[in-house]
Amino acid sequence: MLARNAESLFWIGRYVERADDTARIMDVAVHQLLEDSTVDPDRTCRQLLRVLGFAEPPGVLDVSTVVDLIAFDRKGQGSIVDSVAHARENARGAREVTSSEMWECLNATYNGLAERKRAAQRLGPHEFFRYVEERAAMFAGLADSTLSRDDGYRFLLLGRSIERVDMVVRLLLSRAGDRPGSPTWATVLRSVGGHDTYLRTYRGALDASLVLEFMLLDRLFPRSVFFAISEAERCLGALDRHPHSRVGARDEAQRLLGRARSELEFLAPGRLLEDLQTRLQSLQEMCRQVGEAIALQYFHAAPWVAWTDAGAAQGETIVEGEL
């Protein structure tokens, strides 16, 4: 597979996941801001901006301001509209390795954003967030049902998994200092669509340690950090053209993911809340390093120079191709 197509698929996975997760987080946060009079809007809005990596504007913030910035802004800061637009542009450049249904889904989603924005301004932002969540779910379903399980699919899934780890870790970082019995942990579960699954798993007991265990360590919930890291690790293992090594993983991205997965997998019981913020920051840094390692290994294209006999005699270089 060409490096540019692999890179496009990787970033399609990341951008669609980013739009989906941002919409989920914002949907729950806006409901909380509008329904709970005890919540400080300015503090909560600033917390949201920090979690999602946005610069904090001056002045007092309210729901309308933060929705405009995180959902509708087109200045390239990572808004929902911006993420969908980037996913569409990457799909446009990789039509030969994506299905027509996937392209049509992204194209229709992007073209429908303006109308949904106008509806959100009349009826509230919930309709816009729900639209993005549903379209992201449709795209994921189309990718699963129309793509061959080849390298292209693996790069798409790899990007989605790494972005999912990063977004869940950001969400947990925003609650790292909350009380173990705080009702905000239910908000965290709703933000990742795991509230009902959590209640069935733990019989309704809502506690910070159990919520963290579910979102970080659960092996069956597809949005847990452990599950996403394991998925990314499997994708890289399948992409490795020389998987058999007597000294273990040779690629930097595989080493980083394997180390993070092992630290979570063999964490002693009851130790999850200890030094939680440092552990989450370490996972976030791991996502950044893995992204850089994957880009360097699979997407970095540079011209290489070869000498011909005639050229060498005359001191000339001839560019033969690209890696």
For residues 208 and 182, is the Cβ–Cβ distance under 8 A? yes
CB pairs under 8 A, 24+ apart, for 303-306?
none
What is the per-residue pLDDT across 36-45, written as a single tens digit (0 to 9) for each? 777 788 888 8
Residue 319: is its pLDDT beyond 90?
Answer: no
Residue 197: is its pLDDT beyond 80?
Answer: yes
**Using CA atoms, how far apart are residues 99 and 283, in angstroms rounded to an integer?**
33
Q: Which residues touch 50 (CB under 8 Å, ≥6 apart)?
A: 56, 174
E strand residue ranges, the chain: 303-306, 318-322
Handedness of CA 20, 45, 39, 120 (dihedral sign): negative
Find which of 28-42, 116-130, 131-145, 162-176 is predicted with most confidence, using mean pLDDT. Answer: 131-145
**Using CA atoms, how far apart are residues 208 and 230, in angstroms rounded to an integer?**
23
Give the 3-state secondary structure of residue 318.
strand
Residue 322: is its pLDDT beyond 50?
Answer: no
**Using CA atoms, how far apart are residues 213 and 216, in angstroms rounded to an integer?**
5
CB pairs under 8 A, 24+ apart, for 209-212?
209/180, 209/270, 209/272, 209/273, 211/185, 212/172, 212/272, 212/273, 212/276
Q: Which residues touch 303 (CB under 8 Å, ≥6 apart)?
A: 319, 321, 322
* Residue 39 pLDDT: 78
* Residue 81 pLDDT: 95
Cα distances (angstroms) measured from residue 187 to each of 46, 48, 172: 17, 13, 11
Q: What is the DSSP string of 269-304?
A: TT-TTTTHHHHHHHHHHHHHHHHHHHIIIII---EE
Q: Which residues touch 94 (CB under 8 Å, ≥6 apart)?
A: 4, 5, 8, 9, 12
Among 121-125, 174-178, 220-224, whose mean pLDDT is lowest? Answer: 174-178
The whole-chain average pLDDT of the chain stands at 87
Average pLDDT over residues 200-226: 91
Residue 307: is its pLDDT beyond 80?
Answer: no
Average pLDDT over residues 113-123: 92
Instruction: Output 142 or 34, whichever has higher pLDDT.
Output: 142
**Using CA atoms, how far apart are residues 241 and 124, in angstroms rounded to an integer?**
50
For residues 298 and 6, is the Cβ–Cβ distance under 8 A? yes
Give the β-pairing of 303-306 and 318-322.
Answer: antiparallel
* Residue 318 pLDDT: 36
Question: Burial, 290: exposed, middle or buried (Cβ in 10 Å; 0-12, 13-18, 19+)?
Answer: buried
* Residue 289 pLDDT: 95
**Using CA atoms, how far apart are residues 224 and 211, in angstroms rounded to an integer?**
11
Average pLDDT over residues 49-64: 87
**Using CA atoms, how far apart are residues 100 and 91, in angstroms rounded to an integer?**
10
Find which of 115-124, 133-142, 262-271 is predicted with most confidence, using mean pLDDT. Answer: 133-142
pLDDT band, residue 29 (cuts 50/70/90): confident
